[in-house]
Chains A and B, each alone.
Chain A
């Protein structure tokens, strides 16, 4: 109490929100977590603007290459690549030189060469802007020049030759959105439902909790299939379906806390003062359940993101070439032994997000706790 009055000499009422924000800002770990989440959000949503390739762009020359800070292609392999390209054009590669990212190749053939053969060089991912520099008098030999198309794959590529970094960014967009939506549903419906059920008790509680049991027992797969049939496949629908089942456990937890809270003295005092049930639930019950609620939200978010990958596995969620962290991780798990980076990179972002979320959650809990001011 003393430090709060010391920072503000003017005596002024502070709302719960102001107080919470003040306390939250002082929590270094929580602010760090916020900053980290912001960075991951920026990476996912703004990142694709700074990467030259799209998430669904396929590079046939770079299939399943490991992550590297060096640009592709590797200069040592270029001569072989040029030889293969020349062979496709039914030419023989005589000489190949490389200088400052510009290559010069001499190709020969038994018959006169069509200058359009340069297209075969541009067709591989390694070269671009190939032009004819010199043509021999008999047209049976050409000197070609062009630039080496340098590309960076910091996270490597997947088994289809797509840049993993852009896919992790895209996956972040979808997974963050799904996690956010589901935790809001779980918070909004679960907390209010659980608190109402527990506080009102008796027959209302009995009916409300039987409804939770019914929803919990329904076959999830069919719920999804039927919703897809009626409303068509959309990302929005994934949010709704996952949200619809994710608030049930939250409701049970909040109800459990409420059963104990409603016999406390402060609730009795509020009742004696003539507050309505809803006022008591909103002002006295819900703020006191904040501890388990926040812990459980930080558990719900990863569960939701992984449930989404299960839906995708059933062909009902996000479909290729789109990706989410969940689908990337499950794809990576299949290639764990020969291409571990496919599992490692999406997992790093996933785990990092959850770590930050835990810090933010703990900070919020401390800031919002009504018992501790």
Chain B
């Protein structure tokens, strides 16, 4: 059989169903975000403590004034309606801890830092993980496979709060090749260490997922057929096996991307990066309700968008997947 036998059939694909699928999903995002906002709003109010409960209580009159300023003295349902009403127009309220800023300003200012760092970390994790996983799968049960998976295991196991300080200690303090923290002018040297700390655990997960799926994919009939046709093994691996093996990797990509792009509180505090990550913890600990709601909506949007992208990617990777 010549290679002509494998000539691709012209693919007939109409974009009509795809567009209507995306539109339907974007419409369903509205109620999803609304439900998230509602549950989060009441959940956070059921938690004890308040934004202005200090160790030394404020005089009652002062307290009442502050509460009135932020409309916290009104019944909960009124506050809820007020919040949702404002949020729809894009007003997410003032922050309680950063008093001079609105939540939109805070997140708007910090998000670019987190997203720049996070997107680079995802790229490294994805490319590195898929590459290492593929190599390990092709050399299954060899010494190389074993050492790559050992590296991946350590990567998953050793937490950020250990990797971060160790990286700083080695590359910034002892070798002094790279700055220990901060954003500086945003050049690469400031980004390398936090990027590694962020990417390493995810890279390890991608490598493990790729290896497992790749080993399975290499044993399937269509790969055997492709090999029997005499296709070069590079083509078999990259265009045929890897494509099928990417499904679990892509599935994990959505939550992973949402988590990395919205910043990591641990990594950002170790490397003093002015990103959004710290707002998740600070907002919650200080009961800064508008800030918490802002971060919640941010995560929800990222999760929804990435899940949608992943569902589209399924269809591209595996023609059998159809969204009905």
Which residues from chain A contact B35 at a C-beta distance below 8 Å?
214
Quick check: is B177 within 8 A (CB to CB) of the other chain? no
**Quick one: which of A176-230 are within 8 Å of B by CB?**
201-202, 206, 209-210, 213-214, 216-219, 221-223, 225-226, 229
Cross-interface CB contact of B40 among A218, A255, A343, cutoff 8 Å = A218
Task: Identify which of A202, A214, A219, A329 contacts B32 (C-beta below 8 A).
Answer: A214
With a cutoff of 8 Å between Cβ atoms, the chain B residues found around residue A337 in the complex are 169
**Quick one: given A260-B320, A365-B212, are A226 and B46 in contact (CB under 8 Å)?**
yes
Q: Which residues of A are found within 8 Å of B216, using beta-carbon distances?
A: 291, 369, 371
Q: Flag if A225 contacts B248 (CB, 8 Å).
A: no
- Quick check: A329 and B299 within 8 Å, CB to CB? no
Q: Does chain A have a CB within 8 A of B278? A: no
Structural contact, B161 and A219, CB atoms closer than 8 A:
no
Interface contact tally, CB-CB below 8 A: 161
A112 at the B interface (CB under 8 A): no
With a cutoff of 8 Å between Cβ atoms, the chain B residues found around residue A322 in the complex are none
Taken together as a complex, chains A and B put the C-alpha atoms of A351 and B154 apart, in Å, by 7
Q: Known interface pairs A253-B248, A260-B318. Does A216 touch B299 (Cβ–Cβ under 8 Å)?
A: yes
> Are B46 and A260 closer than 8 Å at their CB atoms?
no
* Given the contacts A214-B36, A221-B284, A260-B314, A333 and B43 also touching, CB distance less than 8 Å: no
B-contact bits for A245-285, CB 8 A (1 contact / 0 none):
00011001101110110011000000000000000000000
A229-B324 Cα distance, complex, nearest whole Å: 43
Task: Report yes or no: B36 in contact with A218, Cβ–Cβ below 8 A.
Answer: yes
Assess whether B3 is interfacial by the CB under 8 Å rule.
no
Question: Among B48, B149, B303, B324, which residue has its beta carbon within 8 angstroms of that of A216?
Answer: B303
User: Chain B 26-51, CB within 8 Å of chain A: the 1/0 string?
Assistant: 00100110011001100110111000
Q: Are A219 and B247 in contact (CB under 8 A)?
A: no
What CA separation (Å) do A369 and B40 show in the bound complex? 41
Q: Which of B160-208 contact A (CB under 8 A)?
A: 161-162, 165-166, 169, 204-205, 208
Contact B161 A330 (CB under 8 A): yes
A34 at the interface (CB under 8 A from B): no
Cβ–Cβ contact B39 & A214, under 8 A: yes
> What distance in Å separates the Cβ of B179 from its nearest Cβ neighbour in chain A?
19
Q: Are A295 and B208 in contact (CB under 8 A)?
A: yes
Residues of chain B from 244 to 297 with CB closer than 8 A to chain A in the complex: 247-248, 250-252, 254-255, 258, 280-281, 284-285, 292, 295-296
Given contacts A260-B320, A264-B320, contact A218 B165 (CB under 8 A): no
A214-B35, A354-B153 known; A222+B47 contact, CB < 8 A:
yes
Contact of B321 among A259, A292, A329 (CB under 8 A): A259
* Interface of chain A residues 293 through 316 with chain B (CB within 8 A): 294-296, 298-299, 302-303, 306, 309, 314
Asked whether any CB of chain A lies closer than 8 Å to the CB of B13, the reply is no
Tell me whether A296 and B209 are in contact (CB under 8 A). Answer: yes
B207 to A: closest C-beta gap in Å:
10
Can you name the residue of chain B whose Cβ is closest to the Cβ of A194? B251
Find out whether the CB atom of A213 lies under 8 angstroms from the CB atom of B300: yes
* Main SS at interface, chain B: helix
A351 CA to B155 CA in the complex, in Å?
10
- For A213, A260, A330, the residue with the greatest tally of chain B CB atoms inside 10 Å of its CB is A213
Complex contact A333–B153 (CB within 8 A)? no
Q: Are A210 and B39 in contact (CB under 8 A)?
A: no
Minimum CB–CB distance for B126 against chain A, Å: 15
Residue count of chain B within 8 Å CB distance of chain A: 62
Query: Do A219 and B43 contact each other (CB < 8 Å), given the known contacts A296-B209, A354-B153, A358-B149?
Result: yes
* B17 CB–A CB distance under 8 Å: no
A19 near B: Cβ within 8 Å?
no
B157 contacts A354, C-beta separation under 8 Å: yes
Asked if B212 and A292 make an inter-chain contact with CB atoms under 8 angstroms apart, the answer reads yes
Taking the nearest CB of chain A, how far is it from the CB of B222, in angstroms?
12
Nearest CB on A from B219, distance (A): 7
Would you call B320 and A219 a contact (CB within 8 A)?
no
A210 touching B43 by the CB < 8 A rule?
no
Given the contacts A257-B247, A260-B318, A222 and B161 also touching, CB distance less than 8 Å:
no
> Is A218 in contact with B251, judged by CB distance below 8 angstroms?
no
Contact (Cβ within 8 A) A209 B156: no
Instruction: Given A222-B43, A263-B322, A350-B157, decide whether A217 and B307 contact each other with a Cβ distance below 8 A.
Output: no
Residues 205-231 of B contacting A (Cβ, < 8 Å): 205, 208-209, 211-213, 215-216, 219
In the complex, B58 has a CB within 8 A of chain A = no
B87 at the interface (CB under 8 A from A): no
Return chain B residues, CB-CB under 8 Å to A263.
Answer: 320-322
With A217-B300, A218-B40, A336-B165 known as contacts, the answer to whether A256 contacts B46 (CB < 8 A) is no
Judge whether B304 is part of the interface by a CB distance below 8 angstroms. yes
Q: Decide: A259 near B314, CB < 8 A? Known: A210-B28, A222-B292, A355-B153.
A: yes
Bitwise interface map of A from 344 to 368 toward B, beta carbon under 8 Å scored 1, else 0: 0001001100110010000001000
Q: Which residues of A contact B67 (CB under 8 A)?
A: none
Q: Looking at the assembled complex, report how far the CB atom of B166 sits from the nearest CB atom of chain A, in whole angstroms.
A: 7
Q: Are A299 and B208 in contact (CB under 8 A)?
A: yes
Tell which of B153, B162, B165 touches A347, judged by Cβ atoms closer than 8 Å. B162
Q: How far is the CB of B83 from chain A (nearest CB, A)?
A: 15
* Whole-angstrom CA separation of A213 from B258 in the bound complex: 11
Interface string of B116-157 (1 = CB under 8 A from A): 000000000000000000000000000000000110011011
B46 in contact with A229 (CB, 8 Å): yes
Q: Is A249 within 8 A of B307, CB to CB?
A: no
Q: Does A74 contact B (CB under 8 A)?
A: no
**Contact at B48–A219, with CB atoms within 8 Å?**
no
9 examples of A-B residue contacts, CB within 8 angstroms: A216-B299, A219-B295, A252-B307, A336-B165, A336-B166, A347-B157, A354-B156, A355-B150, A355-B153
Q: With A257-B247, A295-B211 given, can you name 4 additional A-B contacts, CB distance below 8 Å? A: A222-B292, A252-B251, A252-B252, A292-B212
Query: Contact residues of A with B, CB < 8 Å?
Result: 201-202, 206, 209-210, 213-214, 216-219, 221-223, 225-226, 229, 248-249, 252-253, 255-257, 259-260, 263-264, 291-292, 294-296, 298-299, 302-303, 306, 309, 314, 329-330, 333, 336-337, 343, 347, 350-351, 354-355, 358, 365, 369, 371-372
What are the nearest 8 A-B pairs in CB distance? A256-B251, A292-B248, A217-B300, A263-B320, A221-B284, A225-B47, A295-B212, A253-B251
